A and B are shown apart, each in its own frame.
Chain A
Amino acid sequence: MRKRVFASGAGVISSIGAGLECFGAALFRGDPGIRPSQRFGGSAAEVLEADLLRLLPEKGVRTLDRTSRLLTVTVQMAFETAGLSPESAGETHRDLGLVCGTVLSSLHSVAGFDWSGLTEGPRLVNPMAFQNVVLNSPAGHAGIRYRLRGLNSTVCAGMASSLYALEQAAECLRLDRAEVLLAGGVEELCEESILGMRQIGLASPTERAHPFGPDRDGAVLGEGSALCVLETEGSALHRGVVPLFEICGFGAAYEPRGRRKQAAASAADAMRQALAEAGISAGEVACVIASANGSPETDEMEACALRTVFGCRLDQVPVCAPKAIYGETMGAGGALAVLSAGLALSRGLAPPNVDSGGAAGINLKSVAQPINGRNVLINAFGCDGNHASMVIGAWKN
């Protein structure tokens, strides 16, 4: 029989707060983190400097870039909420590891390293800066700081990256490669990512995200990091912790370029795989945490996929599109959505929607709605053809 995998702790830092409690409070207040940036022109869903500085460890963070700093504080919080000591968990759990989803990772460090070589000459490049040029540097730095000696991986699957990461870790736990693993994602806002998202037409020119809304014109870029402490049932019972939720099912599908008209069918396929693996029907889904970020095409695609999977009962399922609140955080987005789903289960409420305007047939309420059932479906879909879905379930002893 397939081993069950649980999330027993969670760390999160985002534009709407750090720590699961603050994050959840802002999410359920419908209090968006989109505001004028502290570092760049325009608005973004940016992590507040005060939050990051407050949480950063005192020592050994000088050489970390922002992406690594975001991940570091998230690991720390995840351990603490799971009842594991950040100082000794790596010693007591020999196979403790980390799977990190990300899209651009340390892009800002990569670009800065090359720029330094180009403008000052390669002999003046700081060799210490080279370590941050690899895209697995955030996971590597976290591995060193917290003595994570098990598997250490970094996964990039576009907006679906951190759902892929959570599933990869869950699979390794099912295969007995470890008893406890951290998994989730991280993404920083940097001048390169902001520029790129504008240039490829993903960013909202009005700097307002209206997921599924009729006047949506793009996403508002965000940043953050979210990690779950995942462990096997045996490990959770042995440690005597009460899990937050269970990872019940995952589905992934890709739709190649040139066939993007079929993207909705591919996204529906990802959802159906996740439901089937969780052993539930669409009718048993208590709430959907949508991927929609305000993008004209991808939101429409997701709406169409939801109609395909839920049929005429779609209007009975509460749907929440939290990227209106914490922005499009790319590699961190799937993990932030999973934590939003976990909060929905623990509160028995679907988070409210802000700035949506609504879409035909989709149950997007601007107030928190009671949910009925023990499973939440999470979507992470990108315009690049990457589609992943996950089903989590309430902890039931």
Chain B
Amino acid sequence: MRRVAITGIGVVSSIGTGREAFWISLLEGKSGVGQVRSFDTSRLPVHLGAEIPDFEPEPYFRRLRPGCMGRASQLAVAAARLALEDAKCDARSPDRTRAGVAMGTAGESLFVERYNDYRANGDENSFPPEYYAGYPCQVIPGHIADEFDLAGPNASIPTACAAGNHAIGYGFDQIRANRADLMLCGGADSFSRIPYVGFARLGAIAPERCQPFDRNRKGMIPGEGAAVLVLEALDAALARGVRIYAELLGYGLTCDAHHMTASHPGGDGIIRAMAAAVRESGIAKEDVDYVSAHGTGTPTNDRVEAVALHGFFGPRIASIPISSIKSMIGHAMGAASAIEAAACALAVHTGWIPPTTNYEEPDSECALDCVPNRARQTNPRVVLNNAYAFGGNNACLCLRSFEGVD
């Protein structure tokens, strides 16, 4: 079975664009949260979001015109360009038919919102036809392939808040099954009023800040962003002599089969996803030395996640650092776990673990070492990246630092 290396990282986030800016901000504990600017929240009880304040798509485009596509696509193409530059590679070479794309997303729902805006003004007949074509979510990986002229497998995985991990796992499979030699994969989502209103109605949005695992946590902060990883067959990456951030070892997908919007109280599906990822990766759970939590900051999510982590790791959980970068960049929906996977790759590459910020008061229901407020250098080797979604979906990726071919 072919091995898979992560050789490029591109991130567009509310705390920085580009691998380095993003990583420095994460380690410094910066916050991307502010007043929502992209739509009116005056009729809602909450007003905060983690939007990217200054994103200009034009510099990332050579072939396509960004004005013809939705913001999720713009963020996706920008992250893909950053990732390819970071990997110092032309994905078309040597064979464009062996380079593919897989992106997780919640979709270009902005176009649905725009249509409804036109309709509310009695003006739907002047809704531009190209907006219809910009909606179906295959356009997001499609735009990446169009911009970089890639002819390999091309898929969107719209599995909500676990979509980034799903897409990275899908890309991993394409390389291992020898359907592709290089995959650009990750996730992209734009800030959007549909999930904002939905999460607000569920009472899941925090009024002031996102405090994962804190006793006084009050909810999540919706966000946006994109991350794209360059996955390459390990032998090809070694032949190119390129920097390898981490090796992707395996992943696990499960479904709680319990409730559409609430996790299984015992964390059953989460535990099985971690177990599947560990099993497929050919490691022991004792090898895991960092977990990137889903950590949305809602009272229930974090409690269930803690139950699952205790259930899976047992007493050793006390010595495993667990952090949630959603405390800084909010919850970027379909992009979230892809951005977190980028952070995991950087953690094993640099030896540093990003913190869980806004952490003040421990919660006995979340007895975890959540790396409170300050980044920590622990030189993790094997890390898990957890993500959960509506529909009871759980997805866990396992990455390891690359220390040469055994």
Measuring CB to CB, which residues of chain A are less than 8 angstroms from any residue of chain B? 90, 97-98, 103-105, 107, 110-111, 113-115, 117-119, 121-123, 125-127, 130-131, 133-137, 139-141, 143-144, 146-158, 161, 164, 168, 171, 175, 177, 192, 195-196, 199-201, 252-259, 266, 269, 384-386
* B106/A135 in contact, CB under 8 A: yes
* A97/B255 in contact, CB under 8 A: yes
* A156/B137 in contact, CB under 8 A: yes
Give the residue name and chain of the B residue nearest to A135 (CB). B158
For the complex, what is the distance from the CA of A48 to the CA of B198, rounded to whole Å?
32
For the complex, what is the distance from the CA of A252 to the CA of B150, rounded to whole Å?
12
Q: CB-CB < 8 A to B198: which residues of A?
A: 113, 125, 127, 130, 133
Choose one: A127, A135, A143; the contact of B202 (CB below 8 Å). Answer: A127
Q: Would you give the 0/1 interface string for B120-149, flagging 1 where the beta carbon is closer than 8 Å to chain A? A: 100000010100110111110010011001
Q: Would you give the 0/1 interface string for B221-263, flagging 1 where the beta carbon is closer than 8 Å to chain A? A: 0000000000000000000000000000000011111111100
Q: Is B14 an interface residue (CB 8 A)?
A: no
* B129/A199 in contact, CB under 8 A: yes
10 interchain residue pairs of minimum CB distance: A140-B391, A130-B198, A151-B253, A152-B255, A135-B158, A254-B154, A196-B132, A131-B260, A134-B160, A127-B201
Q: CB-CB < 8 A to A137: which residues of B?
A: 260, 390-391
* A111/B116 in contact, CB under 8 A: yes
Q: CB-CB < 8 A to A130: which residues of B?
A: 198-199, 201-202, 261
Can you name 10 A-B pairs with beta carbons within 8 Å?
A: A111-B112, A114-B197, A135-B160, A136-B159, A136-B391, A140-B390, A146-B257, A147-B257, A157-B155, A177-B280
Choose one: A123, A147, A252; the contact of B153 (CB below 8 Å). Answer: A252
For the complex, what is the distance from the CA of A18 to the CA of B23, rounded to whole Å?
53
Q: Is B376 an interface residue (CB 8 A)?
A: no
Choose one: B136, B150, B160, B166; the contact of A103 (CB below 8 Å). Answer: B136
* A269/B97 in contact, CB under 8 A: yes
* A257/B257 in contact, CB under 8 A: no
Q: Would you give the 0/1 interface string for B156-192, flagging 1 where the beta carbon is closer than 8 Å to chain A? A: 1111100000100010010001010000000000000
Q: CB-CB < 8 A to A149: which residues of B?
A: 254-257, 268-269, 272
Q: CB-CB < 8 A to A147: which residues of B?
A: 257
Choose one: B151, B194, B391; the contact of A143 (CB below 8 Å). Answer: B391
For the complex, what is the distance from the CA of A136 to the CA of B166, rounded to whole Å?
12
* A150/B255 in contact, CB under 8 A: yes
For the complex, what is the distance from the CA of A255 to the CA of B179, rounded to whole Å?
16
Q: CB-CB < 8 A to A385: which residues of B?
A: 142, 145-146, 154
For the complex, what is the distance from the CA of A215 to the CA of B169, rounded to whole Å?
44
Choose one: A114, A158, A192, A199; the contact of B138 (CB below 8 Å). Answer: A158
Shortest distance between the CB of A117 and any CB in chain B (Å): 5
For the complex, what is the distance from the CA of A118 to the CA of B132, rounded to whole Å?
20
Q: CB-CB < 8 A to B200: which residues of A?
A: 122
Residues A254 and B145 in contact in the complex (CB < 8 Å), given A114-B116, A153-B159: yes
Residues A386 and B142 in contact in the complex (CB < 8 Å), given A122-B44, A134-B391, A144-B257: yes
Q: Would you give the 0/1 interface string for B70-100, flagging 1 where the beta carbon is closer than 8 Å to chain A? A: 0000000000000000000000000001001
For the complex, what is the distance from the CA of A146 to the CA of B257, rounded to whole Å?
8
Shortest distance between the CB of B297 and any CB in chain A (Å): 18
* A144/B392 in contact, CB under 8 A: yes
Q: CB-CB < 8 A to A125: which residues of B?
A: 197-198, 201
* A135/B43 in contact, CB under 8 A: no
Residues A144 and B260 in contact in the complex (CB < 8 Å), given A105-B158, A156-B155, A254-B153: yes
Give the residue name and chain of the A residue nearest to B166 (CB). A153
Shortest distance between the CB of B357 and any CB in chain A (Å): 28
Q: Is B299 an interface residue (CB 8 A)?
A: no
Q: CB-CB < 8 A to B296: which residues of A?
A: none
* A148/B257 in contact, CB under 8 A: yes
Q: CB-CB < 8 A to B256: which residues of A?
A: 143, 149
* B112/A107 in contact, CB under 8 A: yes
B16-62 contacts to A, CB under 8 A, are: 43-44
Taking A127-B202, A140-B393, A141-B391 as given, write out 5 further A-B residue pairs in contact, using a Cβ cutoff of 8 Å, ordered by the A residue number. Answer: A135-B107, A155-B170, A156-B155, A156-B156, A199-B132
For the complex, what is the distance from the CA of A122 to the CA of B201, rounded to whole Å?
8
Shortest distance between the CB of B164 and any CB in chain A (Å): 13
Q: Would you give the 0/1 interface string for B192-232, flagging 1 where the beta carbon is closer than 8 Å to chain A? A: 01110111111000000000000000000000000000000
For the complex, what is the distance from the CA of A157 to the CA of B389, rounded to whole Å?
21
Choose one: B64, B115, B150, B258; the contact of A254 (CB below 8 Å). Answer: B150
* B194/A136 in contact, CB under 8 A: no
Q: Is B301 an interface residue (CB 8 A)?
A: no
Residues A258 and B201 in contact in the complex (CB < 8 Å), given A97-B253, A110-B109, A151-B255: no
